[in-house]
A and B are shown apart, each in its own frame.
Chain A
Amino acid sequence: MEFTTRVSRRAVMAGMAAGFAASSIPAFGQSGQPPVRIGMGIALSGGLAAFGKSALLAMQIWAEDQNAKGGLLGRKVELVYYDDQSNPATVPGIYAKLIDVDKVDLVISGYATNQIVAAMPTVMQKKKVFLTLFGLAANDKFNYDRYFQMQPNGPDAQAEFSKGFLQTAMTMNPKPQTIALVGGDAEFPAIALAGARDNAKALGLKVVFDRTYPPNTIEFASVVRAMKATNPDIVFVASYPPDSAGMVRAVREVGLDTVKMFGGGMIGLQSAALKSQLGASLNGVVAYDLYAPESTMKFPGVEDFLVRYRKEADKQGVDPLGFYIAPLAYAELQILGQAVEATKSLDDAKLADYIKATAFKTIAGDIKFGKRGEWAEPRILWVQYQGVAGNDIAQFKEAGKQVILYPDTFKSGTLKYPFSAASK
Chain B
Amino acid sequence: MTALSPSLSPPARRLPKPFSWPVLVAGLAIVAVEMTLGAQVSEYYLLLAYIILQYVVLSTGWNILGGYAGYVNFGTAGFFAVGCYTTIALEKLAAVPLPLAILAAGVVAGLIGLGTGYLTLRLRGVFFSIATLALAVVLQTLIVNWSFVGGSRGAYVMRPDAIAPFASYVQYLLVVMTVLAMVAVLAAIAIERSWIGMGLAAIRDDELAAEASGVPGLRLKLLATTLCGAFMGMAGAPFPYFITYVDPPSAFSLAIAVNAIAMPLIGGTATWWGPVLGAVLLGFTQQVLTVTISSAANLLIVGILLVVFVTVAPTGVVGITRAWRGRRA
- Chain A residues at the B interface, C-beta cutoff of 8 Å: 44-45, 49, 81-85, 87-94, 96-97, 100-101, 113-114, 117-118, 120-122, 125, 141-142, 184-187, 189-191, 212, 214-215
Q: Is the beta-carbon distance between A190 and B48 smaller than 8 angstroms?
A: no
- Chain B residues at the A interface, C-beta cutoff of 8 Å: 42-44, 46-48, 51, 141, 144-145, 151-154, 156, 158-159, 168, 242-245, 247-250, 253, 255, 287, 290-291, 294-296, 298-299
How many Å lie between the Cα of A215 and that of B140 in the bound state? 10
A309 to B: closest C-beta gap in Å:
20
* Contact flag A83-B168 (CB < 8 Å), given A93-B44, A187-B153, A215-B144: no
Across-interface contacts of B156 in A (CB, < 8 A): 117, 141
Q: Is the beta-carbon distance between A93 and B244 smaller than 8 angstroms?
A: no
B145 to A: closest C-beta gap in Å:
7
Q: Is the beta-carbon distance between B298 and A83 smaller than 8 angstroms?
A: yes
Tell me the nearest residue of chain B to A44, going by C-beta. B295
Q: Is the beta-carbon distance between A83 and B294 smaller than 8 angstroms?
A: yes
Q: Is the beta-carbon distance between A215 and B299 smaller than 8 angstroms?
A: no
* Contact flag A93-B290 (CB < 8 Å), given A121-B159, A141-B158, A212-B152: yes
Partner of A89 from the list B152, B253, B295 (CB cut-off 8 Å) is B253
A83 to B: closest C-beta gap in Å:
5
A70 to B: closest C-beta gap in Å:
29
How many Å lie between the Cα of A76 and that of B43 in the bound state? 28
* Contact flag A114-B250 (CB < 8 Å), given A44-B295, A83-B290, A190-B152: yes
Q: Is the beta-carbon distance between A94 and B290 smaller than 8 angstroms?
A: yes
B70 to A: closest C-beta gap in Å:
29
Closest 8 CB pairs of A and B: A100-B42, A45-B296, A96-B44, A117-B245, A185-B152, A97-B44, A96-B43, A141-B156
Q: Is the beta-carbon distance between A93 and B294 smaller than 8 angstroms?
A: no
Tell me the nearest residue of chain A to B154, going by C-beta. A187
Partner of A118 from the list B244, B253, B296 (CB cut-off 8 Å) is B244
A196 to B: closest C-beta gap in Å:
15
Could you pull out 13 A-B pairs where Cβ atoms are within 8 angstroms?
Answer: A44-B295, A45-B295, A45-B296, A81-B294, A82-B290, A83-B296, A93-B290, A96-B42, A101-B42, A125-B43, A186-B248, A215-B152, A215-B248
* Contact flag A82-B245 (CB < 8 Å), given A87-B255, A121-B159, A190-B152: no
How many Å lie between the Cα of A74 and that of B244 in the bound state? 38
How many Å lie between the Cα of A308 and that of B51 in the bound state? 40
Partner of B296 from the list A44, A187, A214 (CB cut-off 8 Å) is A44
A215 to B: closest C-beta gap in Å:
7
Q: Is the beta-carbon distance between B48 and A93 smaller than 8 angstroms?
A: yes
Tell me the nearest residue of chain A to B41, going by C-beta. A100
* Contact flag A85-B153 (CB < 8 Å), given A101-B42, A215-B248: no
Q: Is the beta-carbon distance between B291 and A89 smaller than 8 angstroms?
A: no
Partner of B247 from the list A100, A114, A121, A214 (CB cut-off 8 Å) is A114
How many Å lie between the Cα of A83 and that of B42 in the bound state? 20
